[in-house]
């Protein structure tokens, strides 16, 4: 049994839109993404800080974090630039899964591949990483697959 740490209750967004913008899909879509991005910056940076604190003694750098929409991955590590890129849509996942993605990308600073050593490092700090990864792959792949559907049809 795993305790699932969902990071937020269903959230509601209340916006006041001037009459001139009513029905302006593009404008409302921009507001929605700004709202998502604000939430994502807070939540994802918190997870990054947590794992940076845990891992800094292992010689892992304090990375810059870039949050953006990516078509086919949840995160990526640009090791030579000390940078971690996280998918904006991670904010739709429970913190339990977000933390796996963050630790995964941090671990690439030590091992740029997906070798046994890479997963051993993850397991040291997150013994249940397999469950988290499975959950992401199985339950949340739909978010990734439907990303563009979301963007085009959410309104
Ligand atoms: Zn990887």
Ligand 1 centre to CA of 97 (Å) is 14
Ligand 1 centre to CA of 49 (Å) is 19
What is the b/e burial string over 36-47, where b = at least 16 CB atoms within 10 angstroms of the residue's CB? beebbeebbeeb
Neighbours of 144 (CB within 10 A): 17
**Residue pLDDT, tens place only, 85-99:** 999 889 889 999 999
Confidence band, pLDDT 50/70/90 cuts, at residue 31 = confident
Catalogue all structural domains in the chain, each as residue range(s) with its CATH number: 24-153 (3.30.2010.10)
Ligand 1 centre to CA of 88 (Å) is 17
Residue 17 has pLDDT above 90, yes or no: no
Rounded distance between C-alpha atoms, residue 123 and residue 129, angstroms? 6
Ligand 1 centre to CA of 149 (Å) is 25
Contact 136, 101 (CB under 8 A): yes
Give the 3-state secondary structure of 60-93: CCCCEEEEECCCCCCEEEEHHHCEEEEEHHHHHC
Q: What is the pLDDT of residue 23?
A: 79
Ligand 1 centre to CA of 77 (Å) is 8
Ligand 1 centre to CA of 76 (Å) is 7
Contact 49, 32 (CB under 8 A): no
Ligand 1 centre to CA of 75 (Å) is 8
Neighbours of 80 (CB within 10 A): 7
Residue 15 has pLDDT above 50, yes or no: yes
Q: What is the pLDDT of residue 35?
A: 84
Ligand 1 centre to CA of 106 (Å) is 9
Rounded distance between C-alpha atoms, residue 106 and residue 91, angstroms? 18
The alpha-carbon radius of gyration of the chain (Å, integer) is: 17
Phi-psi region of 107 (alpha: psi -120 to 50; beta: other; left: phi over 0): alpha
**Residue pLDDT, tens place only, 124-154:** 999 999 999 999 988 777 565 555 555 555 4
Confidence band, pLDDT 50/70/90 cuts, at residue 7 = very low
Residue 71 has pLDDT above 90, yes or no: no
């Amino acid at each position: 049994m795993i305790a699932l740490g969902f990071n937020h209750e269903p959230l509601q967004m209340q916006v006041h839109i001037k009459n001139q913008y009513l029905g302006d899909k593009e404008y409302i879509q921009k507001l929605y993404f700004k709202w998502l991005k604000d939430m994502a910056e807070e939540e994802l940076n918190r997870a990054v800080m947590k794992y940076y604190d845990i891992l800094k003694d292992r010689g892992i750098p304090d990375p810059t974090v870039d949050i953006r929409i990516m078509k086919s991955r949840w995160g990526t590590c640009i090791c030579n630039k000390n940078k971690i890129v996280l998918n904006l849509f991670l904010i739709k996942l429970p913190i339990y899964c977000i933390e796996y993605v963050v630790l995964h990308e941090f671990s690439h600073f030590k091992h740029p591949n997906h070798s046994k050593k890479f997963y051993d490092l993850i397991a040291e700090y997150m013994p249940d990483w397999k469950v988290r990864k499975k959950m992401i792959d199985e339950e949340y792949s739909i978010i990734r697959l439907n990303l563009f559907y979301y963007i085009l049809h959410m309104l």
